[in-house]
Amino acid sequence: MKSMPFHQVDVFTQRPLYGNPLAVYLDADDVATELMQRIAREMNLSETTFVQRSTDSNCVFRVRVFTPGIELPFAGHPTVGTAFVLTRQGMISEPEFKFQMKVGPVRVRREGEMFWISPPPPKSERNQELRGLDAALGLSSGSCIGAQIITNGVRFLAAVLANRDNVDLAKPNRDMLGKVAHDLQDIDVLLFAYENETAYSRMFPNPEYGILEDPATGGSVAPLSLTLKLCKRLDPTTSALKIEQGTKMGRQSLLHARFKQTESGLTDIEVGGTAVHNFESILKI
């Protein structure tokens, strides 16, 4: 029987039992991909990470990210949470480093208790027509005031809603989304309202992830920020945002974004957050 130690943390919070839970396996060099997926399904969290020796000399570790259903090329809360655990365990002492991830090298910077990551740059595939979108999201007409299809390793339908109540009431219907546009049926659905440099959001992942809703999605911060810019909802002087997520699920999370604005988009995007350690245990298989 093999013993596999792991740590469980809550990410994008300073309070235990809030934020987004994450399991981190620190010694995964000899763990097969199939077993990683089975373990992630057993943990049944939004994501589980496995830390391995890096094959890239510019990266301190290789980090693989799994939902209960699939492996992801990149995700924000696992990157922040894994950096927190490795730092806490004394396995990383540098204030700035890179992880080797499926999407490529990802930079992480520690500032006090905050960990800032540089996500893959978001790109807009298209401005999404609003016709039929309100109904597909389970909302009344006029609730959705702007939408983009954004990709940054993961594809998002990012929709700006009129107010916080709309975000809480939303119930995306995958079949109806598929009728709005064929590529919306299996996509991450990011819904948010924005006021006073604070966004209130919910994220409904692609069904193949094996989870219904994510309480804190670091990978969505750059797409959210770019959507605000492209939908002309971002003041030209704004260079930082706060994002509240997970509140509807009882796991309130706080994510931070900072960036530079250009005429057509955003550059130098960073996603920041804190984490708390809940427990460490051993999986015997």
Alpha helices (runs of H) in the chain, residue ranges in sequence order: 33-43, 76-88, 133-136, 164-169, 174-180, 221-230
Q: Please give the share of the chain, as a percent, with pLDDT higher than 90.
A: 96
- Residue from 42, 47, 113, 195 carrying the catalytic annotation: 47
Q: What is the pLDDT of residue 164?
A: 97
140 and 111 in a single domain? The answer is no
Determine what percent of the chain is predicted with pLDDT higher than 70. 100
Same domain, 92 and 184: no
Residue 116 pLDDT more than 90? yes
Q: Are residues 240 and 144 in the same domain?
A: yes
Looking at the structure, tell me whether residues 67 and 181 fall in a common domain: no
Owning domain of residue 12? 3-118+274-284
CA distance 209 to 142: 30
**Structure confidence at residue 196 (pLDDT):** 87
Q: How high is the pLDDT of residue 61?
A: 99
Given this model, what pLDDT does residue 266 score?
97
- Torsion 167-69-59-6 (CA) sign: positive
Question: Is residue 1 predicted with pLDDT exceeding 90?
Answer: no
What pLDDT is attached to residue 229? Answer: 97
pLDDT tens readout for residues 192-204: 999 989 999 999 9
Number of domains in the chain: 2
Is position 47 annotated as part of the catalytic site?
yes
The pLDDT of residue 153: 84
Output the pLDDT for position 53.
98
Structure-token match 């995964």, residue found:
28
Is the pLDDT assigned to residue 94 strictly greater than 90? yes
| Cα 137 off chain centre by | 20
Q: Tens digits of per-residue pLDDT, 210-240? A: 999 999 999 999 999 999 999 999 999 999 9
Question: What CATH number does the domain containing 43 carry?
Answer: 3.10.310.10
Do 108 and 65 belong together in one domain? yes
Please provide the size of the chain in residues.
Answer: 285
